[in-house]
Structure 1
């Protein structure tokens, strides 16, 4: 039996800049779905859902909590891993807070990102921060 070698398409990273408005979340999810759909071999459904959820949560956190008017998203596929990087103009790192089960003010996103990702890092600089999450491809 002969095994077929399927080349891994890492392709160029996908990048986009969004105004820090609620519709940025759905725009970022759309970009993510399109990027994942173009990868070879395909990302399995469970990993694709996790990647999309992490993108959604990170962009939502920027829209709700970060200073500034813009944010950016960068997706980069490599063998076995996909990196999600979200940058904004606020140097403050994300902070974990107690989930609000009654008032609907959140507190669930950052722990979820940390749980779904293989690794999470925050890089702070003079122009803000970048949150990176590495997820299974």
Structure 2
């Protein structure tokens, strides 16, 4: 859905990280300037981590939105059902799974905010594309 001349938005509630990545991939396009750089890879990684965190730690995805603003910034919003804010857990010494997602999100994004909602929280992540 186009909300004005500079913002394109896709919404819905993906139940898996894969479905959310498909939304972002479609939003950014498969043949344009983002697809041939690490930018698309970073955007898909951030999307996967946000949705996976909502599913694993937040009781599921309550809402999802991906916006492309001015063709320069991808804004991903994921709401879940947990009031607990994300926190970086130290990775296991044996490199076992867990503890990597939130630091990756914060490192790759220019802006990351978390806001409480009446039924959980919403994470807003902005990733500069150019």
TM-score range with shorter-chain normalisation? 0.7 to 0.9
Tell whether the 8 Å contact from 1:10 to 1:76 is kept in structure 2 after alignment. no
Give yes or no for the alignment of 1:116 onto 2:108: yes
For structure 2, which runs of at least 5 residues remain unmatched after alignment?
Answer: none
- SS of the aligned residue for 1:35 comes to helix
CA–CA distance in structure 1, aligned partners of residues 55 and 89 of structure 2: 17
Structure 1 residue ranges, 4+ long, deviating more than 3 angstroms after superposition: 9-12
* Higher Cα Rg, which structure: 1
Deviation (angstroms), 1:11: 5.0
Deviation (angstroms), 1:129: 0.8
Aligned pairs for 1:38-117 (under 5 A) are 42-43=33-34, 45-67=37-59, 69-79=60-70, 80-102=72-94, 104-117=96-109
CA–CA distance in structure 1, aligned partners of residues 63 and 77 of structure 2: 8
- Determine which of 21, 37, 52 is the counterpart of 2:29: 37
Tell whether the 8 Å contact from 1:18 to 1:71 is kept in structure 2 after alignment. no
Deviation (angstroms), 1:86: 0.6
Name the Cα RMSD after superposition: 2.2
For structure 1, which runs of at least 5 residues remain unmatched after alignment?
Answer: 1-8
